[in-house]
Every structure is written in C-alpha cells, then in structure tokens.
C-alpha cells in the first residue's frame, strides 16, 4: 500500500493470452476462456512472496505467529524458508516483474514458484480476473465466517466477475483531512476536530475557509492533487461508458475548484511525493492540511525509517484529524494466493491469521497504527484512549475513520481508472498552470492520451 505508491504506478498490458492490463475493458473480464487448471499442493520447502516495499514483510515479521527473521530478504516459518522478492513500484517495475514470473509459473522449479503476491486497488482487477490468483474460499478453504467482519469494499476490490474472492487485506483505508493544530488555532481560534469539521463540512465551506487561510499567509493544501482522490472516490459514473470517455460531474467540480484555488494562491500544482509538496510536513512549512488514511499519517508525514524527523510537525504531535468535506479512501494492500503454489496450507494460514485473526489485527493497530480490516474490532476500539496516535497529539483517529468507512462505494470502479486518473491530472496541471489556454483544450489532450494507450476507446 504505501506508496510512492498509487500515484506513480503505470499500468501495462501483458500478452493477450495472459493477464488483462489496466485498460483492457470497462467491465470485468470473464477469464474462463483462458482458464488454467487450479493446481495447489502442500509440502513446499520455500514460500516465495512478491512485494513492492517493506510494509507487508514488516507486518509478517512482527505479527505472524512463528515467523523468524533470517535476513532482510529471508525468514523461516517452521521448516519452510520464506523468500521475499522486493521490486519497487517505480516505472511499473513491480507489475512487470510479477507478470513475467506468473507467465513462467507452470514451468518454474518448485522452489521458484510464487506462493503469495500483493496487489493494490488501482490495478487489482488486472490480477483477480485471471486464474493466476486463487479463490480464497473455494481454492484455499478460508471460511466465509472468518471473513464476515471484513469491510465490504475491501472484498469488492478483489472479487472477480464470477463473484469469487481472490484476495484479502489486513487493513482498510478510510481517510480524512489531517490539519495542523497550530495553524488552526491561529486562524480559526480552535484546533478542536469537531469545530474544524464544521468549518470544512462541505466544499463551499472549504473554499470559504481557504480564503481565511490565504489571508493569514497559509496554503490550504500543498497541492490540488491532495483533494483529487476525495472527489474521484465520490463519483456517480465510470471513466469509460459505452467505449466513450466520461468525465463525472464530481471530477469536473474538482477541476473548477482547483483552478480557482490555484489562481487565488490558496494551493499549488506540486506533484504528490515531491520535495516541494512534502515541505508542508515540516514546522517551517505553510500548509494547513493534507488528506489521507492511517498509513499516510504514520508513514509519510515527516517520518524516515519510522522515526519522526527533527523539525517535523509529527515530532511534536502537531496534527489533528477530521472528516473533511467528503469521506473517501486511499490505498490498501491485498494478499493474493498464486495458482501453482506448493504451500497451500501455509498460504491459507497466512491469509487467515493476517486478515481475520482479531488478536493479530489488534496488535497491528496497537503497534503500527493501521486501521484494521475488521469492523467488529475497530468498533470496539473507538472509545479506547490507549489507541491515540502520537502524530495527532494523542487523538484516537478510529472514530473518524470508522464514520466514513461504511460509505465507501466501489460500484464505479473500472479497469481504466489508473490510466484515466493519471492522464487527467497531468493534463489539468497544464491548465491550472496556464500552459494550456482553456479547459476544453486540456480535456482534448487527456482524451487523446488515453485513446493512444487504449485504441478501443472511441472518444
């Protein structure tokens, strides 16, 4: 999940008989015609896990019962050697390497076969709608009762066109508006989350508050891209409908608001994860708010290798959390079992322990500040002050995240999302910066770029 993450991944198609690329269709593909026989067994000596960063490895190392670390890329579970292959996501390297390995899965030596791999929401359909992923219930044998408390949207993301659940996650990623307490006190005379929420309860209120922040010398957000996912998570239509590109009215609302705020000097067009964008994590910065989930707070906002940087806002617990104008989610990591594994029982146990075991999940929440993918557990922790986040000055973020997680709607997700989102934001940046004369010109640039990548789109 943790990302340089969702913003930098570029989706590529595999061979026609292999995995469907992120832009192959605006409906879920029936992969039965290319179906591979499900072949799973036990007795393997090596468990191969493919990941793009250290996150899941650290969760396994710290929380999976019986896991013993051998080295940075190797561990032991009983008599089984665990081998981690870590390929960063930059320039689509992770997906490319995974795709090549999956194509060779049938002929790979037993100790080289992939047993588990991870996917993110932006490209999950590419893998779950093929037979390279195992059905969590029917192939691996995880019971529906064990999965019952997981948030529905986390299962929707990895459910294929036939209704089979092809992965599971230990985390849910409802998100909110993370704001600086000191700036809130100076400009709004309070840092109380409920009172700040009233000032940012909808987008009209957001714009009114932005004017006050600008007058006081502050940016509302570090970039227009900070609010993009809030709008895109609340669309009522898909990017591509009937083979034609469709810009949802909520996406157009983001464009209009962003252009106005850039022109007013209330935000910028910095790229997410860039040094200019992240300056707001420091006390010397002038950014009031960012938007993100639990992982964003405790992974990205002024930390290096898990340690708060000197001079960062998190060092002094200077952030607070509220819902903001609309609920949304960002990110997530899903564990998929690979067809061909010779460690079926172990793959099943890892998915069960890491995504359904309440004691393991509670430990993850306590030690890593993840928002666990278990509604029963998280509801029980909403009023527990011991789950306060130091980065938030001891505020327990669970009540705010819990309030929004139930409204996450995946019905308008399609396999074109990643390509369209990236190209749209790139085209609009030129418009916001004044390098494109008007919105219609920027829109046509976006359409042309998408059609070049996906010729099946008619317009």
Residue 45, CA atoms < 13 Å, CB-side half-sphere: 4
At 96, phi and psi to the nearest 5? -60, -45
Q: What is the mean pLDDT of residues 76-98?
A: 96
In this structure, the answer to whether residues 103 and 9 fall within a common structural domain is yes
DSSP string, 33-67: GG-------S--SEEEEEESSSHHHHHHHHHSTTE
Domains of the chain: total: 2
Q: Which helix (H) or strand (E) holds 124?
A: helix 124-128
In this structure, the answer to whether residues 364 and 269 fall within a common structural domain is no
In this structure, the answer to whether residues 290 and 366 fall within a common structural domain is no
Whether residue 416 lies inside any domain: the answer is no
Q: Has residue 74 got a pLDDT over 70? A: yes
What span, in angstroms and rounded, lies between the C-alpha atoms of 400 and 398?
A: 6
Is 394 within 8 Å of 321 (Cβ atoms)?
no
pLDDT band at residue 273 under the 50/70/90 scheme: very high
Place of tokens 């993110």: 120
In this structure, the answer to whether residues 125 and 213 fall within a common structural domain is no
In this structure, the answer to whether residues 278 and 399 fall within a common structural domain is yes
Q: pLDDT for 351-400, tens place per residue?
A: 999 999 999 999 999 999 999 999 999 999 999 999 999 999 999 999 99
Is 261 within 8 Å of 220 (Cβ atoms)?
yes
Q: What is the mean pLDDT of residues 91-117?
A: 96
Q: pLDDT for 294-316, tens place per residue?
A: 999 988 999 988 899 999 999 99
In this structure, the answer to whether residues 92 and 185 fall within a common structural domain is no
In this structure, the answer to whether residues 122 and 229 fall within a common structural domain is no
Whether residue 418 lies inside any domain: the answer is no
What span, in angstroms and rounded, lies between the C-alpha atoms of 175 and 404?
A: 8
What span, in angstroms and rounded, lies between the C-alpha atoms of 158 and 152?
A: 10
Is 171 within 8 Å of 225 (Cβ atoms)?
no
DSSP string, 354-378: HHH-HHHHHHHHHHH---BS-HHHH
Q: What is the mean pLDDT of residues 91-112?
A: 95
What span, in angstroms and rounded, lies between the C-alpha atoms of 247 and 430?
A: 17
CATH code: domain of residue 19: 3.40.190.10
pLDDT band at residue 36 under the 50/70/90 scheme: low
Instruction: Calculate the alpha carbon distances from 427 to 247, 422, 430, 445 in Å.
Output: 13, 9, 6, 6
What span, in angstroms and rounded, lies between the C-alpha atoms of 361 and 377?
A: 8
Residue 4 confidence (pLDDT): 36
Coil, strand or helix: which one is 398?
A: helix
Instruction: Calculate the alpha carbon distances from 24 to 123, 130, 444 in Å.
Output: 11, 13, 21
Q: What is the mean pLDDT of residues 13-32?
A: 38
Is 396 within 8 Å of 382 (Cβ atoms)?
yes
Enter the pTM of the model.
0.87
Torsion of Cα atoms, 384 then 385 then 387 then 389, to 10°: 150
In this structure, the answer to whether residues 159 and 232 fall within a common structural domain is no
Whether residue 153 lies inside any domain: the answer is yes
What span, in angstroms and rounded, lies between the C-alpha atoms of 450 and 459?
A: 9
Q: Provide CB contacts within 8 A for 252, sequence distance 6+.
A: none
Whether residue 22 lies inside any domain: the answer is yes
Q: What is the mean pLDDT of residues 202-220?
A: 99
Whether residue 423 lies inside any domain: the answer is no
Q: Has residue 30 got a pLDDT over 60? A: no
In this structure, the answer to whether residues 42 and 167 fall within a common structural domain is yes
Q: pLDDT for 217-267, tens place per residue?
A: 999 999 999 999 999 999 999 999 999 999 999 999 999 999 999 999 999
Whether residue 453 lies inside any domain: the answer is no
Coil, strand or helix: which one is 282?
A: strand
E strands present in 181-318 = 219-221, 240-241, 244-245, 287-293, 303-304, 307-308
Q: Has residue 16 got a pLDDT over 50? A: no
Whether residue 62 lies inside any domain: the answer is yes
The two most distant CA atoms of the chain are separated, in Å, by 67
Beta bridge partners of 339: none
pLDDT band at residue 2 under the 50/70/90 scheme: very low
Whether residue 440 lies inside any domain: the answer is no
Give the burial string for 276-314 (b: 16+ CB within 10 Å, else e): ebbebbbbebebbbbbbbbbbbbbbbbbeeeebeeebbb
At 50, phi and psi to the nearest 5? -105, 125
The least confident of 13-17, 101-105, 137-141 is 13-17
In this structure, the answer to whether residues 63 and 152 fall within a common structural domain is yes
Q: Provide CB contacts within 8 A for 431, sequence distance 6+.
A: 255, 259, 438, 439, 441, 442
Domain enclosing residue 59, as ranges:
5-172+331-381
361, 3, 446, 333: which is closest to 149 by C-alpha?
361
Is 142 within 8 Å of 348 (Cβ atoms)?
yes
Q: What is the mean pLDDT of residues 441-449?
A: 98
Is 335 within 8 Å of 323 (Cβ atoms)?
no
In this structure, the answer to whether residues 77 and 103 fall within a common structural domain is yes
In this structure, the answer to whether residues 87 and 236 fall within a common structural domain is no
Coil, strand or helix: which one is 201?
A: coil
Q: pLDDT for 125-163, tens place per residue?
A: 899 999 999 999 999 999 999 999 999 999 999 999 999
Percent of the chain topping pLDDT 70: 92
């Amino acid at each position: 999940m943790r990302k340089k993450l969702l913003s930098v991944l570029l989706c590529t198609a595999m061979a026609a008989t292999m995995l469907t690329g992120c832009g192959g269709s605006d409906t879920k593909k029936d992969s039965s015609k290319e179906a591979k026989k499900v072949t799973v067994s036990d007795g393997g000596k090596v468990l191969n896990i493919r990941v793009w960063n250290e996150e899941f490895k650290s969760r396994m190392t710290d929380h999976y019962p019986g896991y013993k670390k051998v080295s940075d890329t190797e561990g032991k579970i009983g008599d089984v050697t665990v081998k981690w292959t870590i390929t960063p996501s930059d320039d689509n390297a992770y997906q490319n390497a995974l795709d090549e390995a999956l194509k060779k899965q049938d002929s790979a030596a037993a100790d080289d076969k992939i047993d588990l791999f991870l996917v993110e929401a932006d490209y999950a359909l590419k893998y779950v709608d093929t037979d390279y992923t195992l059905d969590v219930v029917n192939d691996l044998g995880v019971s529906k009762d064990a999965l019952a408390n997981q948030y529905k949207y986390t299962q929707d993301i990895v459910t294929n066109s036939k209704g089979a659940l092809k992965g599971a996650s230990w985390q849910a990623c409802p998100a909110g508006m993370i704001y600086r307490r000191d700036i809130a006190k100076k400009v709004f005379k309070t840092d109380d989350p409920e009172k700040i929420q009233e000032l940012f309860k909808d987008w009209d209120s957001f714009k009114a508050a932005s004017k006050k922040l600008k007058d006081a010398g502050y940016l509302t957000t570090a970039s227009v891209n900070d609010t993009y996912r809030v709008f895109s998570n609340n669309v009522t239509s898909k990017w591509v409908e009937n083979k034609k590109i469709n810009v949802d009215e909520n996406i157009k609302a983001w464009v209009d608001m962003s252009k106005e705020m850039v022109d007013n000097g209330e935000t910028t067009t910095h790229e997410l994860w860039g040094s200019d964008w992240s300056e707001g994590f420091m006390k010397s910065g002038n950014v009031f708010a960012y938007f993100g989930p639990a992982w964003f707070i405790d992974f990205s906002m002024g930390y290096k290798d898990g340690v708060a940087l000197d001079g960062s806002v998190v060092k002094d617990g200077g952030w607070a959390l509220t819902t903001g104008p609309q609920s949304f989610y960002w990110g997530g990591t899903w564990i998929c079992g690979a067809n061909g594994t010779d460690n079926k029982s172990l793959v099943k146990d890892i998915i069960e322990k890491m995504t359904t075991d309440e004691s393991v999940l509670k430990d993850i929440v306590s030690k890593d500040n993840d928002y666990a993918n278990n509604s029963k557990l998280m509801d029980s922790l909403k009023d527990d002050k011991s789950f306060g986040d130091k980065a938030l000055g001891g505020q327990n973020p669970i009540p705010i995240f819990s309030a929004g997680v139930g409204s996450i709607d995946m019905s308008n997700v399609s396999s074109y999302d990643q390509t369209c989102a990236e190209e749209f934001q790139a085209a609009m940046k030129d418009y916001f910066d004044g390098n494109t004369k008007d919105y219609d010109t920027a829109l046509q640039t976006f359409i042309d770029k998408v059609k070049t990548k996906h010729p099946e789109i008619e317009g």
